[in-house]
Chain A
């Protein structure tokens, strides 16, 4: 079969294959590896994953559309994922979101024109003792405040 992904994808799939009794159960690991490589899950990526696992593309779509972590459209180089759940909100997350929107000149859910920043709202990140929290790509920024936010934004430009 033609290789659609990089070597890391196939290495990871080889490593875990023996833990799963069928190909469909490898769907989430495959989607993680695919999104890790391509940044988001496009229609073509869904087809590539379906072909690799030998399952219908509809099954891939069903999963991708269900799980928030899989992005169905491209995101900015820095995805600012603000938790606005209860504990973060009690500690000022709304102010931070407001500030980020003004600073980046975009609204919640949007990406800046230069493709640098996406602002998104996520649910509790499991870091409520150090609220408010913002997950930027994979990294948690705890006890977040406007000063730290400015530094992140200015430092990334």
Chain B
């Protein structure tokens, strides 16, 4: 299997984000003229053939998504880059935007031209102030070099790019909430159907929303071909991938590996094992929205299908590692707290469910839980699953349900002993 490094070669280095460095180091802006020469039908086919699946969380085939944009509609079309990156544990798009903003921009230009969009919005989370500045600079460079503007690449095609800053709301990462947010509204998800972005998207027009990392794969696919791209990773899960590892390992950080890389190898060899000589207790493999894996379940490969088969998901490839000195209920509290704060409040099961879940977990952790509380947690989760406007409901229900199911004995211990057996600890910090 190919394990060539294609993204992160220059991460951590100064002065690599400019257009000249991008051209020199990474064959920058050679894919764009090649794509123009190939023609957009062929580009679309190449992206489809590559098997590239969305890196934002859902793993939807990128080429298929682009293909949904109606060809004969005379409405304007839009490309929106999802740089909201707010799934807890995720920090990969930030690295791309910091060190390779032009890679994302070049990919976005190719995507926009393929779907016949003349406007690109990059929705970047409000907290990324520095990254937005880097991006603005890169965009200005791309205009100056003639890749953007009235006459993109001398083809007469007008293409504009604007960096649009979000303002601190996790739910705006959900694509239809994101579109409402660009329109100046509250970031509340839209009901699908009818509001599928490809049909009724931004300003009511056909729209493709793609994650930063997804678009950053596009120039390589154009330059080196679908067959090359498929030399990374198993069937139907192709490509190289940025994995974000945090929590209780010796060397947390960003690791570039081919899809399908074994999680235990990543933990033990790349990240130097669990810190402080402790043992692995559990891991979120794909952000806080992914069902938790127990230590045994961590014998799994990191790709969409393997993790789905293991009952979890790859999500945003944000792996959070938990050691055996950590109270699982405390982890659940942090999780429930996050979803309660971030629910947009449109759907009753989500708005009230997240509130209940937070309160129940607090009560349990404080040693004041009651016998029926664990079943109640599962009931509330079941009630949120599949009953809400957006996938935030499942994003809350799945991990919290997995925790109470897989660590039930530990939850029960809090009830019978009327206290936290860990002293409420993160294996490091001491609670309030």
A123 to B338, CA, bound (A): 7
**A90/B94 in contact, CB under 8 A:** no
CB < 8 Å: which of A69, A91, A135 contacts B428?
A91
Contact B254 A129 (CB under 8 A): yes
Report the interface size class on chain B: 35 or more
A66-B187, A129-B245 given; A124·B426 CB < 8 A:
no
Q: Does A29 contact B (CB under 8 A)?
A: yes
- Chain B hits for A118, CB < 8 A: none
Is A156's CB within 8 Å of the partner chain B?
no
Closest Cβ–Cβ distance, residue A2 to chain B (whole Å): 23
| Max count, chain B CB within 10 A of own CB: residue among A24, A25, A28, A87 | A87
A89 to B427, CA, bound (A): 10
| CB atoms of B168 and A68 under 8 A apart | yes
Binds B, one of A3-11, A92-100, A147-155: A92-100
Q: Are B88 and A24 closer than 8 Å at their CB atoms?
A: no
Asked if B320 contacts A128 (CB within 8 A), the reply is yes
Q: A66-B169, A123-B170 are in contact. Are A128 and B88 (CB under 8 A)?
A: yes
Q: Are B168 and A67 in contact (CB under 8 A)?
A: yes
Instruction: Output the least CB separation between B163 and chain A (Å).
Output: 9
| Residue with the greatest number of chain A CB neighbours at <10 A, chosen from B160, B244, B334 | B334
Closest residue of chain B to A18 (Cβ to Cβ) is B160
Does the CB pair A25–B184 fall under 8 Å?
yes
Residues of A within 8 A of B87 (CB): 124
The answer on a CB contact under 8 Å between A126 and B86 is yes
Query: CA A140 – CA B130 in complex, angstroms?
Result: 9
- Interface SS of A by simple majority: helix
Chain A CB within 8 A of B342 CB:
yes
Contact of A126 among B85, B160, B320, B427 (CB under 8 A): B85
A124 and B183 contact, CB distance less than 8 A = no
Give CA–CA (A56, B245) in the complex, Å: 45
The complex places the Cα of A69 from the Cα of B124 at a distance, in Å, of 13
Contact (Cβ within 8 A) B89 A87: yes
A84 within 8 A of B: yes
B426 contact from A62, A90, A138, Cβ within 8 A: A90
Known contacts A66-B186, A126-B85, A129-B254; is-contact A28 B166 (Cβ 8 Å): yes
Binary per-residue interface labels of chain B (143-182) against chain A in the complex, 1 for a CB within 8 Å, 0 otherwise: 0000000000000000010101111111000000000011
Interface residues of A in 53-69 (CB under 8 A from B): 55, 59, 62-63, 66-69
Q: Give the nearest-CB partner of B90 in chain A.
A: A126
B48, chain A: closest CB distance, angstroms: 30
Residues of B within 8 A of A16 (CB): 162
Residues from chain A with Cβ under 8 Å of B185 in the complex:
24, 59, 62-63
Considering the chains assembled together, what is the distance between the CA atoms of A92 and B330 in angstroms?
13
Are A95 and B165 closer than 8 Å at their CB atoms?
Answer: no
Q: Are A94 and B430 in contact (CB under 8 A)?
A: yes
Q: A21-B203, A129-B252 are in contact. Are A92 and B429 (CB under 8 A)?
A: yes
Q: How far is the CA of A68 from the CA of B276 in the complex (A)?
A: 36
Q: How far is the CB of A37 from chain B (nearest CB, A)?
A: 15
Q: Which residue of B lies closest to A98 (CB)?
A: B432
Determine the distance from Cα of A27 to Cα of B181 in the docked complex, in whole angstroms: 9
Q: B residues 105-148 with Cβ under 8 Å of A?
A: 119, 121, 125-130
List 21 contacting pairs A-B, 8 Å CB cutoff, sorted by A: A19-B160, A22-B203, A28-B166, A29-B164, A29-B165, A85-B88, A87-B320, A90-B247, A94-B426, A94-B430, A94-B432, A123-B88, A124-B88, A125-B127, A126-B91, A126-B127, A126-B128, A128-B318, A129-B254, A138-B129, A138-B130
Sample of 18 further A-B pairs with CB below 8 A, known A24-B183, A122-B168, A128-B246: A19-B162, A25-B182, A25-B183, A67-B187, A69-B126, A69-B168, A70-B168, A85-B338, A89-B426, A94-B430, A122-B127, A123-B88, A124-B87, A126-B127, A129-B91, A129-B244, A131-B247, A140-B130
A-B pairs, top 7 by smallest CB distance, nearest first, are A27-B184, A67-B167, A69-B168, A68-B168, A128-B246, A87-B246, A69-B167
Hey, which bits of chain A sit against chain B, CB under 8 A?
Answer: 16, 18-19, 21-22, 24-29, 31-32, 55, 59, 62-63, 66-70, 84-87, 89-95, 98, 122-131, 135, 138-140
